[in-house]
Amino acid sequence: MNTFTACPEQARTVRNGTAVDTPNSKTVRGTVVHEVIEMVLNGRLADDELTLESAVEYFHISWDNHKETVVKWLDGPELTRDVGLASLRAWYLEVFPWLNPLRVEQSFEFVLCENESRRISLYGTRDLDEEDLTWDWKTGRHEPPWEMRRNAIQPTVYTLARAHERGDLESDQNFRFCYLANGEVEIIDVVRTPNDWAALVPLCNSIADLIEARLPSWPLRYDGWQCSDWCPNWGACRGKYLGVGAKPANW
Ligand code: SF4
């Protein structure tokens, strides 16, 4: 759904396999940071805390295991690794001390709506559940916080999953983005309400209408930062006109 929000045509081509996401150095670095954070949190859950030195050691092991999967290097390997390490250190020192994990990497699936012709299920994996808060670690860039608080889809879906699990669809739920970039932590808190969850139904139905219509293309969205050679469909879409492999002349 995040991809659909960024660009419907990108979501269509990723879904039908004509656009294939190639791992770049930033996404692989994000995977490694996530993996080590998960390990540290599981340590706390098991009453077996990892020191910062151990976490850093695991980071190096995980980085060595993953770096060969990078297809596109956006920065050099050493800079990429060091930025990841700085993010992990910042998280360990500034966020981890105050966490009380309930569940880590919790998968969910629930039925959003159902009628005689269609059933829509939503699924995903939450990075961290605390008693009254759902956390998500991010290592990329983000939209302005006010826009995320208003429009981000991920918190709406993830908090609704928790509301289902609690059997309480009447109370607001809290979600927290924790952005880790260049050794700094940025927190963006989001609240989702029963009205936000109700508004998810027509959105998902509109996506289902598009899927079922079997159109040869879906709306193209040229105005997001993803509409660049970050998009796995760039070469078959806007990149056909603006060029592939180098920045368009006037960007
Ligand atoms: S190139 Fe732009 S418009 Fe085309 S699929 Fe990608 S994001 Fe969408």
DSSP 42-61: HHHHTT-PPPHHHHHHHHHH
CA distance 150 to 167: 25
- 212-216, 234-238, 246-250, range with the lowest pLDDT: 246-250
**Type of residue at 82:** D
What average pLDDT does the structure give for the chain? Answer: 95
pLDDT number for residue 2: 87
- Confidence label for 47 from pLDDT (cuts 50, 70 and 90): very high
Task: Kindly tell me if the per-residue pLDDT of 11 is higher than 90.
Answer: yes
The residue whose CA has the least distance to atom 4 of ligand 1 is 237
Q: Report how far ligand 1's centroid is from the alpha carbon of 232 (Å).
A: 8
**Residues 48-101: tens digit of each pLDDT:** 999 999 999 999 999 999 999 999 898 999 999 999 999 999 999 999 999 999
pLDDT (mean) for 175-199: 96
Residue 170 has pLDDT above 90, yes or no: yes
Where does the pLDDT of residue 226 fall: very low under 50, low under 70, confident under 90, or very high at 90 and above?
confident
What is residue 177's predicted lDDT score, i.e. its pLDDT?
Answer: 98
pLDDT reading at 246 higher than 90:
no
Give the tokens for residue 129: 């559940």
Q: According to the model, what pLDDT value does residue 81 have?
A: 96
Q: Which of 155, 215, 191 is nearest to 1 (CA)?
A: 155
Choice from 220, 229, 251 to test ligand 1 binding pocket (greatest atom count within 8 A of CB) = 220
21 alpha carbon, distance to own chain's centre: 14
Answer whether 0.95 is exceeded by the pTM. Answer: no
CATH of domain 103-213: 3.90.320.10
Whether residue 180 contacts residue 223, with contact meaning beta carbons closer than 8 Å, is answered with: no
180: CA distance to ligand 1 center in Å? Answer: 27
Q: Is 53 exposed, middle or buried (0-12, 13-18, 19+ CB in 10 A)?
A: exposed
Percent of the chain with pLDDT over 90: 87
Instruction: Please indicate whether residue 174 or residue 243 has the higher confidence score (pLDDT).
Output: 174
Which residues form the pocket of ligand 1, taking CB atoms under 6 Å from any ligand atom? 7, 9-10, 220-222, 226-227, 231, 233-234, 237-238
Contact predicate 121/109, CB 8 Å:
yes
Which ligand 1 atom is the nearest neighbour of the CA of 8?
A: 8
| Domain boundaries along the sequence of the chain | 16-98, 103-213
**Residue 238 neighbours by CB distance under 10 Å:** 21
